[in-house]
Amino acid sequence: MSAYFYCCLTRFRKIFFSSYFVGLSIFLSACSSNYAPVENAWYQSLPAAGIYVVQPGETVYAISILYGIDVNQLIKYNHLTEPYTIYKGQHLYINRPAPILPKPIVKLSSSVKSAVTFQRIDAPVSPPKPVGTSSKKNAGTPTFAKPVAATPSKTAITPKPVATKKTAGIHWQWPARGKILQSFASNKKGMDIAGNYGDAIYTAAAGQVVYSGSGLANYGKLIIIKNSENYLSAYAYNSELMVKEGEQVKAGQQIAKMGNDNDNRPALHFEIRHKGKPVNPLKYLPKQ
């Protein structure tokens, strides 16, 4: 009886452990296939179908930075017109033109047309009476409210002259004062500049603010400036944003305050994009 029991127990152990290791190998292979590597977290891969669903707060310029594509191509593919407004949930074609849908034709019924009437006004419009005029004849000279003295505006602070370098027809300058923590690389689409928390962040070149927000992963509070038709500059890891979308900014103007990077170090992540593709900022900035 004991020998029979021992034999059954041995067979049970073999079946159990073989099933366990087979299941474990299947589980590990499934895990490895479901999670994409994060070695290139700064650069998102294009959607499989080539169609991107717009998230809240995004602009075409932010999507251009996210996927490394030319914003002009993105605008052309999706038949966008100025000011290139996009909406949450909108489908954008990333690598091919979107189909052009026919516009619906609205026809008015005869009953609606007959209900629409137009009125011609020929009577002249009387000019308004001066404020403070007396209702009696010859009551005196009309009185007017005293003008309110204009509040003097704050004197603009002129930034100190800094070194600039003209590249691709644009005058570039350093966006922050500090040493380079990390240089441009294949998995780092710009460079990191060290500093102190709250340091001033300046525009590297004049242009228009086309994004100011925190909707892009890995960038924190981000500002994107359109410096020309083909060039964008991006400023990430900010603690405070000081400009809004649509504003025109001058070279050397303060636009933000420095924050902490993903390693909790005070730093600015700075990028220059040419037709959506990241380029080495050191080739555009003057020597320090």
Stretch 68-79: mean pLDDT: 88
- Can you give the pLDDT at residue 117? 52
| Length of the chain (residues) | 288
Binned at pLDDT 50, 70 and 90, residue 12 comes out as low
* Per-residue pLDDT reduced to its tens digit, 183-228: 998 777 899 999 999 999 999 999 999 999 998 888 999 999 999 9
Per-domain residue ranges for the chain? 51-93, 165-283
CATH architecture of 165-283: Distorted Sandwich (2.70)
Alpha-carbon gap, residue 180 to 191, rounded angstroms: 7
Chain center to CA of 57: 8
Give me the pLDDT at residue 38, please: 29
Sign (positive/negative) of CA torsion 161, 167, 168, 173?
Answer: negative
Average pLDDT in the chain: 76
Which of 30-39, 70-79, 173-182 has the lowest average pLDDT? Answer: 30-39
Candidates 134, 62, 136; CA nearest to 92 is 62
**Cα distances (Å, whole numbers) of residue 131 to 105, 135, 137, 146, 149:** 51, 11, 16, 12, 19
- Give the closest residue to 262 by CA, choosing from 196, 213, 192: 192
Question: How far is it, in rounded angstroms, from Cα 97 to Cα 101?
Answer: 12
Beta bridge partners, 234, equal: 224, 271
The CATH code of domain 51-93 reads: 3.10.350.10
At residue 180, what is the residue type? I
Beta strands in the chain (DSSP E): 51-53, 91-93, 165-167, 170-172, 180-182, 191-194, 200-202, 207-213, 221-226, 231-241, 248-249, 254-260, 266-274, 277-279
Nearest-angstrom CA–CA distance, 242 and 198: 12
The dihedrals phi and psi of 208, each to the nearest 5 degrees, come to -120, 135
DSSP 3-state assignment of 279?
A: strand
Q: Any idea what DSSP says for residue 188? A: B
